[in-house]
């Protein structure tokens, strides 16, 4: 009995000692001299990194001259505060309670995302997400593949909030769009709310990520279940316990927005579906080309005989002149999505312009009003270099030389102008159409 009691004390002591010295869970990210992720230690992309303790520590190191105070981590949409931070390294703590299923851990440097990893909790006993005490679920439990194809009937709606810059889309885990509030309204500064409707047992295993790249406007694309296809058979009597999970995605580049849905199987994320939509670009201004009617006229001078005396007279001219002008109009009220309506006053902006055939001698400054169909009206001042008489001569002065000897110089003057111009993109389409029809004859 005494020996057994001593053995128990010894075992308990060893257990306590082992618990005391158990190393804290830590992942390391190394930033290279190009301010990108150079390497990681135990933190892996393409799989779910399991948090087995109360929290995991992420150590961001900058051994090659990068400033680690510019490094930051974002868990889902929450910015993590560093526990320590210096030029050569920063550390962050990820609480186990703050993750579920597969949670995005974004790494940013100087405000720009440079990498994304997936983290998930150990649900008890050191196992993987979706297990109990490290043991697999009972064999009678439905598989992920079976849950993927369980239908959730109903009528769904999605909206778009222009003031909040936020659009919604409702999809199945296979990427089938059930409702969309995007239409032609979604632009690059908008936030996308992805509402995935599926069985409640599947929802914690899902993750949604932005995978978009370039502008290629396409219809919604639906993908199958990929690797899980061989087991996509329903069990008899298996009924969906439907629910909804919301995912928030941001920072879509203009063009084609692509979103991928994945399901967690063990520690691996398996793509189950995706969908595409159009992301409108935001413009800081516009370039237009057109004709400006200006009151600033460049005179010419010649000689004429008046009362038997040769004098300087003004050559042929007029009260105004037509100049082809290229205008740039910045949108001073903020970047604009041209697919959306804006208040009338936002169509009024300053404009500057040049004359393409004589850039160095002409400049235009005014106020523009952009109208539908790419047409813009501009009014302002035309600054130009025009010929003026020198050496004290004026129109009517006697001159004994020839007309080409009349002394003149260039001097900057200004006067009113107004112009009608067309969005350069529309102009290009017009020229292409004209050239195409001309080449076909």
pTM: 0.56
**What is the C-alpha separation between 229 and 227, in angstroms, rounded?**
6
Distance CA 1, CA 9 (A): 12
Whether 328 and 427 map to the same domain: the answer is yes
Say if residue 170's pLDDT is above 70: yes
End-to-end CA distance of the chain: 111
Look at residue 303 and tell me if it is in a domain: yes
* Residue 257 shares a structural domain with residue 375: no
More confident residue, 294 or 215: 294
- Out of 70, 87, 121, pick the residue that ends a domain: 121
Residues 53 and 178 in one domain: no
Which domain range does residue 247 map to?
A: 147-230+239-279
Report pLDDT digits (tens) over 173-190: 999 999 999 888 899 889
Are 58 and 151 in a shared domain? Answer: no
Instruction: Please check whether residues 263 and 295 belong to one and the same domain.
Output: no
- The DSSP line for 53-91 is SSEEEEEEE-TTS--GGGEEEEETTEEEPPSEE-SSEEE
Structural domains counted in the chain: 3
Dihedral (Cα; 13, 15, 19, 20), 10-degree rounding: 10
Q: Does 10 fall in a domain? A: no
Q: Is residue 257 part of a domain?
A: yes
pLDDT digits (tens, 9 = 90+) for 393-429: 888 888 888 888 888 888 899 999 999 999 887 777 7
**What is the pLDDT at residue 331?**
92
Residue 128 has what pLDDT? Answer: 47
- Cα dihedral 175→177→182→186 (10° resolution): 10
User: How would residue 98 be classed by pLDDT, with cut points 50, 70 and 90?
Assistant: confident
Q: Indicate whether 257 and 399 sit together in one domain.
A: no
For all residues of the chain together, what is the average pLDDT?
A: 80
Residues 157, 297 share a domain: no
Q: What is the pLDDT of residues 283-340, one digit of tens each?
A: 889 999 999 999 988 887 888 888 888 888 887 665 568 899 999 999 999 888 887 8
Residue with tokens 């004429």: 304
225 CB-contact burial (10 Å; exposed 0-12 / middle 13-18 / buried 19+): buried
pLDDT at 304: 83
Report residue 401: phi and psi, to 5°.
-85, -165
- Average pLDDT, integer, range 50-65: 88
- Do 192 and 335 belong to one domain? no
For residue 127, being part of any structural domain is answered with no
Which range has the worst mean pLDDT, 12-26, 29-43, 227-241, 414-428?
227-241
What DSSP designation does 142 have? P
User: Which stretch of DSSP H or E encloses residue 209?
Assistant: strand 206-210
Whether the pLDDT of residue 204 is over 90: the answer is no
Least reliable range by pLDDT among 141-145, 146-150, 227-231: 227-231
Same domain for 391 and 266? no
Same domain, yes or no: 321 and 432: yes
What pLDDT shows up at residue 382?
Answer: 95
- What residues contact 258, with CB distance under 8 A and at least 6 apart? 210, 211, 212, 213, 274, 275, 276
Task: Give the other-Cβ count within 10 Å of 114's Cβ.
Answer: 17
Average pLDDT over residues 107-130: 72
């Amino acid at each position: 009995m005494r020996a057994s009691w001593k053995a128990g004390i010894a075992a308990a002591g060893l257990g306590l000692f082992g618990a005391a010295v158990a190393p804290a869970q830590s992942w390391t990210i190394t930033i290279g001299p190009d301010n990108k992720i150079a390497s990681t230690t135990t933190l892996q992309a393409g799989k779910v990194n399991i948090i087995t303790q109360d929290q995991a520590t992420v150590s961001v190191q900058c051994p090659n001259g990068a400033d680690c105070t510019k490094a930051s981590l974002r868990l889902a949409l929450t910015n993590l505060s560093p526990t320590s931070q210096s030029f050569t390294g920063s550390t962050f703590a990820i609480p186990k309670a703050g993750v579920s299923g597969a949670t995005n851990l974004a790494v940013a440097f100087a405000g720009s995302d440079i990498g994304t990893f997936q983290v998930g909790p150990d649900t008890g006993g050191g196992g993987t997400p979706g297990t109990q005490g490290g043991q697999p679920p009972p064999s009678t439990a439905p598989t992920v593949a079976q849950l993927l194809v369980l239908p959730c009937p109903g009528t769904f709606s999605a909206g778009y909030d222009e003031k909040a810059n936020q659009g919604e889309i409702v999809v199945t885990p296979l990427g089938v769009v059930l409702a969309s509030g995007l239409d032609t309204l979604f632009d690059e500064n908008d936030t996308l709310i992805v509402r995935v409707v599926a069985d409640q047992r599947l929802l914690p295993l899902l993750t949604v990520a932005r995978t978009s790249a370039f502008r290629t406007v396409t219809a919604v694309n639906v993908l199958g279940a990929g690797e899980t296809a061989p087991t996509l058979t329903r069990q008899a009597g298996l009924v969906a316990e439907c629910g909804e999970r919301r995912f928030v995605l941001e920072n879509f580049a203009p063009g084609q927005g692509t979103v991928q849905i994945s399901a967690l199987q063990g520690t691996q994320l398996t793509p189950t579906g995706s969908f595409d939509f159009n992301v409108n670009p935001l413009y800081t201004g516009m370039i237009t080309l057109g004709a400006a009617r200006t009151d600033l006229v460049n005179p010419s001078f010649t000689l004429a005989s008046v009362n038997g005396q040769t004098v300087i007279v003004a050559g042929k001219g007029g009260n105004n002149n037509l100049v082809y002008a290229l205008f740039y109009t910045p949108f001073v009220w903020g970047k604009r999505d041209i697919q959306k309506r804006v208040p009338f006053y936002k169509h009024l902006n300053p404009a500057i312009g040049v004359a393409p055939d004589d850039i160095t001698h002409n400049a235009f400054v005014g106020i523009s009003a952009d109208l539908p169909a790419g047409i813009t009206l501009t009014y302002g001042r035309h600054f130009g270099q025009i010929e003026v008489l020198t050496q004290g001569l004026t129109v009517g002065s006697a001159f004994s030389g020839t007309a080409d000897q009349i002394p003149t110089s260039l001097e900057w003057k200004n006067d009113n102008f107004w112009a009608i111009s067309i969005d350069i993109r529309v102009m290009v389409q017009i020229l292409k159409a004209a050239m195409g029809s001309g080449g076909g004859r």
